[in-house]
């Protein structure tokens, strides 16, 4: 591209120089020739007037007297009636410029000048025009190089940006070049980079959430399957198989919920459900893990409490809180239910040291953890609660008390009157 820009600019300049240079040479040549002819005419008239004045004054007219009146390089022949011609200067050879003037006393003056003087002046003019043309070509080349670099360098940068996007580096450069068309391309690439970055972030977040949310159900399912392989009692096998099937259904619900939230966190299938069923399900699933750790998990509070939400999402939130207590807490874990206003509250507490003071305000942020864990569980739990129309809060830091707030009133159904009118 640089070469093409330089060549095109140079071609334009050469055409302009050729057109205007030739015209200028022709005009200057004619001007110099006319000027030389006018000079010779003027010299002939001047010399004729001098001869006239001397003849009228009865003064002598000869070559010695007129020698100072003829410029070097010029030749004059004065013809006076009744006298021999008077020659002044050296007669030029070759082509000459001449002019003849007649005086009042009948004398004639022929002035000659070699045309080589005109040729020399035309040559000097051509040299000056050539130097100016050369300077114009040099300036055009320098300008073309600068302009080519100004246009080609941004294109190289934009190509590198596009290559970085293709290689998985979506960082926008926010670099502009002062050329509207190129800046528009840069805007589009930066916008694409930001969208790609958001998509990559969403994919990584989905992968991290999926690995975290599926880890516990898969572990529990594996334990159930191990129980089946270690027993020969048909009733135990049947019971464990039924529990495993239930866990598979919950696992499927977890996957669907994760995919749904990755597409639109606001979508959900809220229904009215019994909180006790979800709590007892979680206690039954987590009791073996707590028993292995020498700890207990219990429930208390208001029974047969109903709330509005997605049972699968609520189960995932409680599972995250219970797992958090298992990893970071201590003693007995208690799930308590109560009512406050129009909301049902499920509190999860344990007898551990609680949440450090420096993490209290940031406990629900991603990658924030009191120990060497992922720091994803509580962040995912809060997202699930909010997507389900509820909220998850840290009610007390020491001992830790987390509260899941769920609405007890179904959201109003939208009627035809509530829908926007298209005009």
Read out DSSP for 127-167?
HHHHHHHHHHHHHHHHHHHHHHHHHHHHHHHHHHHHHHHHT
Q: Please spell the DSSP secondary structure of 45-94, one letter per residue.
A: HHHHHHHHHHHHTT----HHHHGGGS-TT-EEEEE-TTS--EEESPPP-S
Give the pLDDT score at 61.
80
Give the bridge partners for 108, in sequence order.
Answer: 79, 102
Domain boundary among 175, 202, 229: 202
Cis before 399? omega within 30: yes
3-state helix, strand, coil in the chain (%, to 5): 60, 15, 25
- Is 184 found in the same domain as 125? no
Beta-carbon contacts of residue 355 (< 8 Å; ≥ 6 apart): 363, 370, 394, 397, 398, 400
Write the pLDDT tens digit of every residue in 109-140.
898 888 888 888 888 888 998 898 888 888 88
Question: Both 130 and 44 in a single domain?
Answer: yes
Residue 355 and residue 401 in one domain: yes
Last residue of a domain, one of 84, 119, 138: 138
* Domain match, 100 and 174 both: no
Q: Is residue 250 part of a domain?
A: no
- If asked whether residues 191 and 282 sit together in one domain, one would say no
Q: Count CB neighbours of 168 within 10 A.
A: 8
Q: Is residue 375 within 8 Å of 366, Cβ to Cβ? A: yes
Q: What is the CATH number of the domain that holds 308?
A: 3.30.565.10
Q: Are residues 180 and 81 in the same domain?
A: no
Which domain covers residue 177, as residue numbers?
166-202
Give me 302's structure tokens.
């208001």
* Average pLDDT of the chain to the nearest whole number: 80
Sign of CA pseudo-dihedral 192, 193, 199, 203: positive
| Residue 356, domain member (yes or no) | yes
- Decide if 228 is inside a domain: no
Residues 128 and 191 occupy one common structural domain: no
Is there a domain that residue 223 lies in? no
For residue 107, give the DSSP letter. -
Residues linked to residue 109 through DSSP beta bridges, in sequence order: 78, 101
177 and 129 inside one domain: no
Together in a domain, 78 and 20: yes
Residue 381's closest CA among 307, 316, 286?
316
- Please give the Cα distance from 175 to 186 (Å, whole number): 7
d(CA 93, CA 125): 24
Helix (H, G, I), strand (E, B) or coil at 343: strand
Mean pLDDT of 230-237: 78
* Same domain as 175, residue 118: no
Determine whether 78 is exposed, middle or buried from the number of CB atoms within 10 Å of its CB (0-12, 13-18, 19+). buried
Domain end: 174, 202, 230, which one?
Answer: 202
Q: Given this model, what pLDDT does residue 206 score? A: 63
Is residue 33 in some structural domain? yes
Query: Which among 41, 85, 39 is positioned nearest to 63, based on CA atoms?
Result: 85
164-221: pLDDT as tens digits: 777 777 777 777 777 787 788 888 888 887 777 777 666 666 666 666 666 666 776 7
CA 85 from chain center: how many Å?
91
Q: How many CB atoms lie within 10 A of CB 181?
A: 10
Mean pLDDT of 151-174: 75
Distance CA 156, CA 269 (A): 51
CB-CB neighbours of 343 under 10 Å: 18
89 within domain boundaries: yes
Token pair of 157, please? 């940068």
- Are 56 and 105 in contact by the 8 Å Cβ rule? The answer is yes
Share of the chain above pLDDT 70, in %: 83
> How do residues 268-306 score in pLDDT, each as one tens digit?
567 889 999 999 988 888 888 888 889 999 999 988 899
Instruction: Give the number of other CB atoms < 10 A from CB of residue 265.
Output: 13
Q: Could you tell me the pTM of the whole model?
A: 0.48
d(CA 251, CA 319): 12
Q: What is the number of structural domains in the chain? A: 3
Residue 232 lies in a domain: no
The Cα–Cα gap between 197 and 170 comes to: 5
Residue 130 near residue 122, CB atoms below 8 Å: no
Task: Grade residue 307 by pLDDT with cuts at 50, 70 and 90.
Answer: very high
Helix, strand, or coil (residue 171):
coil
Same domain, yes or no, for 75 and 172?
no
The model's confidence at residue 345, banded by pLDDT at 50, 70 and 90, is very high
CATH number of the domain where residue 108 is located = 3.30.450.250
For residue 219, being part of any structural domain is answered with no
User: Are 306 and 375 found together in one domain?
Assistant: yes
pLDDT computed for residue 216 by the predictor = 65
Structure confidence at residue 401 (pLDDT): 92
Q: Are 237 and 228 in contact (CB under 8 A)?
A: yes
């Amino acid at each position: 591209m640089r070469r093409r820009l330089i060549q095109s600019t140079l071609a334009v300049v050469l055409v302009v120089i050729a057109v205007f240079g030739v015209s200028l040479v022709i005009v200057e040549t004619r001007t110099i020739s006319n000027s030389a002819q006018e000079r010779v005419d003027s010299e002939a008239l001047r010399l004729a007037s001098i001869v006239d004045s001397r003849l009228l004054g009865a003064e002598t007219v000869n070559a010695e007297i007129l020698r100072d009146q003829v410029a070097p390089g010029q030749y004059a022949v004065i013809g006076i009636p009744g006298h021999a011609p008077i020659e002044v200067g050296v007669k030029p050879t070759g082509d000459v410029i001449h002019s003849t003037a007649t005086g009042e006393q009948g004398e004639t003056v022929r002035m000659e000048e070699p045309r080589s003087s005109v040729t020399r002046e035309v040559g000097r003019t051509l040299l000056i025009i050539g130097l100016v043309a050369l300077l114009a070509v040099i300036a055009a080349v320098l300008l073309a190089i600068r302009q080519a670099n100004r246009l080609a360098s941004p294109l190289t940068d934009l190509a590198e940006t596009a290559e970085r996007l293709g290689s998985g580096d979506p960082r926008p450069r926010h670099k502009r070049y002062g050329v509207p068309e190129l800046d528009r391309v840069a805007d589009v690439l930066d916008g694409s980079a930001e969208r790609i970055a958001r998509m990559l972030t969403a994919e990584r977040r989905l992968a991290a959430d999926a690995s975290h949310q599926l880890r516990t159900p898969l572990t529990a399912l594996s334990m159930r399957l191990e129980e089946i392989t270690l027993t020969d009692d048909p009733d135990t096998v049947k019971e464990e198989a039924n529990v495993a099937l239930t866990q598979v259904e919950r696992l499927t619900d977890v996957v669907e919920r994760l995919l749904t939230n990755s597409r639109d966190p606001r979508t959900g299938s809220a229904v009215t459900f019994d909180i006790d069923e979800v709590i007892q399900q979680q206690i039954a699933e987590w009791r073996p893990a707590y028993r292995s750790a020498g700890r207990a998990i219990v429930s208390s509070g208001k029974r047969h409490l109903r709330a509005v939400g997605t049972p699968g999402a609520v189960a995932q939130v409680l599972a995250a809180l219970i797992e958090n207590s298992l990893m970071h807490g201590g003693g007995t874990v208690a799930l308590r239910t109560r009512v406050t206003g129009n909301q049902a509250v499920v509190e999860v507490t344990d007898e551990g040291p609680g949440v450090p003071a420096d993490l209290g305000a940031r406990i629900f942020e991603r990658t924030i953890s009191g120990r060497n864990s992922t720091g994803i569980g509580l962040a995912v739990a809060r997202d699930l609660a909010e997507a389900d129309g509820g909220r998850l809060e840290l009610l007390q830091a020491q001992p830790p008390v987390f509260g899941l707030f769920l609405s007890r009133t179904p959201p109003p159904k939208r009627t035809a009157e509530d829908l926007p009118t298209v005009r």
